[in-house]
Structure 1
Amino acid sequence: MNVTVIGSASAVAPEERALRDLYLEHGPALYSYVLRMLGGDTHRTEDILQETLLRCWDKQNVTDGEGMAVRPWMFRVARNLVIDAHRTRMARPLEVSGNSWLGDMCAEVDDIERMLSSMVVQDALRSLTPAHREALEATIFADRTTQQAAEALGIPQGTVKSRVYYALRSLKSALEERGVR
C-alpha cells in the first residue's frame, strides 16, 4: 500500500506545483510592482498578487510553450486588477467611522467647489473677446500696471484701461449668467 504524506513533494498536484513554481519565479518582482502601484499598501498588494496567481492558474494554457511570455501577461493582469480595485473603491460610498469624516467631507466639498468655480471662471474668460482677454492677462493676471501692459502689448495706455474696464464688465455679466454672484 502506498501512503502519501500530506505536504510531501509527491502529494502536490502538478497544477499546484506549476503554480508554486510560477510564484517562486515571478512572485517577488510582481509583489514589488504591485506594491509600488498601491503606494505601499501591503495588504492590498497581497490580495492583488493572490488574485493574479489565481487567474494565472485558471488560464493553465498560458505557458511559455505557446510563444507568449507569462511574465508580461501576469504584470498586465496585476495592473488591471489594481485599476479595477481603484475604480471599485471610488464607486463605493464613503465609509464612516466616528465624526472625523465630517471634516474630511467639508475639505473635499471645498476642493470641489473651488475646482468648479475655477472651471466656471475659465469658461467665462473664454467667452470674452481676444482683445479683452489679452488686456486682463497683461494687467491683472501678470500683475502689471496699465502702463507696463500697454508697453508689453504695444498699444496706448488708454486703450488698455478701456479694454480692462469692458472686459471686467463682460466677465461679471458672464459669471452672473453662469450663476456666480
Structure 2
Amino acid sequence: MLGKIFLLLCLSSALAEQLCKSDAPNGYKVRLSIQSALGKDAYVWNEKENFLFRSTLAYAMRQQLDGHHFEESNIQMCEETLRVSFWFVVTWPDNNSTTVERGEVEKALRRSRARFNSVFMLTDQTLEFVGIPPTLPTPVTYGTEPWLIVFAVLMSLICVFILLLTLVSIRKKMNQKSALLEHDGQDAGGFTQV
C-alpha cells in the first residue's frame, strides 16, 4: 500500500512537470524587473518569493473560482531564469494532471492584479504576465456629476447677479423719487401766496 502511494506521488509530480513547459497550452510566462523597479532596495528572487507568488496566485484562483480549494501545490512553476522570468500553469485541486483553462486564469490575474503588484512592490510595467495586458484602473465615479456642480454654481451666480441688479434699480428709483419729492417741496416753500 505504501509503495502504491509513493508511486502515485512520484507520478503526479512527473505529470505536473510535463504540464509546465514553455508554450504550454494553459501556461503563462512571467517577467519581473525587480532591479529596475526598486533600484538599490531590490530583493533577491528565491524559493520564498516563489512560494509567495504561488500562494498569491492560489488566493486569486480561489477568488475567481469560488468553491474550489486551490493550494500552492496547484501552481506549477518551471523554466526559471536568473533574470527572474518563469512559466507557470495552474492545475485543478481535485486533479493535478489537468490544467485550468486560460480564460479562468486570466480573469483571476486581472481581478487580483493590484494585489500582485502590492505584494511584490512592483507595477504593471515591472511585473509582466506575458500575453495578458494590464487592465486599466476603473474610472472614478462621483456621487454628483461634476458638470452638475459647475452648472449649479453658475446658476447661483447668475441668480445673485439678477437679484443685485433688481435691488440696485429699486434703490435708484427710490432715491430719484425721494429727490424729486424733496425738490418739489422746496419749490412749493419758496412761493408766497397773494
Q: Larger % of helix: which?
A: 1
TM-score by length of 1: 0.29
TM-score by length of 2: 0.27
Q: Which has the larger radius of gyration?
A: 2
Q: Larger % of strand: which?
A: 2
